[in-house]
Structure 1
């Protein structure tokens, strides 16, 4: 049974934000301090990713474990009341996330998902360092100099060879 009244629960759930969350701000501060520049919630990209790094052709989604259905995570626990509603809602969110990432991949974007549980103090530094490493690896892979082997050229002649009949 819920400890709050229906109005209190409604007010509580309505106050949950989708932008500017603590996990998102943690990632933003880390990336900015490391020299990464980004845009927030780009409206023309599918799913309005939390962070868009155009130079790296990458998008970052900072997902809450409960809202996006992070499997095998202690923060993804379904409420006991109205369980069918929450199960359906989280499954829709998860399916929508997969579809948005598929569309972004087709457009040539690299999709990175950072989960809320990966930003807890015990593992935060490791997660953020691996994020920076991943972004740098993507940049190097996409911008490396490609060396092509030139095919052997046969000397083409502009005119017939000159033979003297003497």
Structure 2
């Protein structure tokens, strides 16, 4: 790095700082998406480059597919099979009415 001009060093440092910023943004985005998912939200990321004319149609078709999949999965009938020990008791405990009330 000693042989680089001041301008070249500046560009190198900008790239390094830019990568750090991108990494921090990715980490922050994952955390935020996790929080939203825990609240029941679905997150879809569409990058600016995916909206360029060459790939815009593909991106929109993929987005429609993803949204339809999410919609159908959220409304899918979920079958529930309780385990035998999983059934809570809602009745009162049995009382033997032949015993003295004072002993209860």
Give the Cα–Cα distance (whole angstroms) in 2 for the partners of residues 111 and 148 of structure 1: 27
Looking at both structures, which has the greater relative contact order when contacts are Cα pairs under 8 Å and sequence separation is at least 6?
1
Partner of 2:43: 111
Which of the residues 129, 138, 142 maps onto 2:61? 129
Give the Cα–Cα distance (whole angstroms) in 2 for the partners of residues 147 and 101 of structure 1: 28
Shift of 1:97: 0.8
SS class of match (1:82): helix
Shift of 1:106: 1.6
Give the Cα–Cα distance (whole angstroms) in 2 for the partners of residues 142 and 87 of structure 1: 37
Partner of 1:58: none
RMSD over aligned CA atoms reads 2.4
- Listed as ranges, the gaps of 5+ residues in structure 2 are 1-6, 82-104
- Listed as ranges, the gaps of 5+ residues in structure 1 are 3-78, 150-166
TM (normalized to structure 2)?
A: 0.57
Shift of 1:148: 6.1
Task: Describe the superposition over 1:141-163 as per-residue Cα deviations: whole angstroms up to 9, x where unpaired.
Answer: 111344668xxxxxxxxxxxxxx
Residue 91 in 1 paired to residue 23 in 2?
yes
* Count of matched residue pairs: 73
Give the Cα–Cα distance (whole angstroms) in 2 for the partners of residues 114 and 87 of structure 1: 20
Matches within 5 A, 1:1-150: 1=7, 80=12, 82-146=14-78
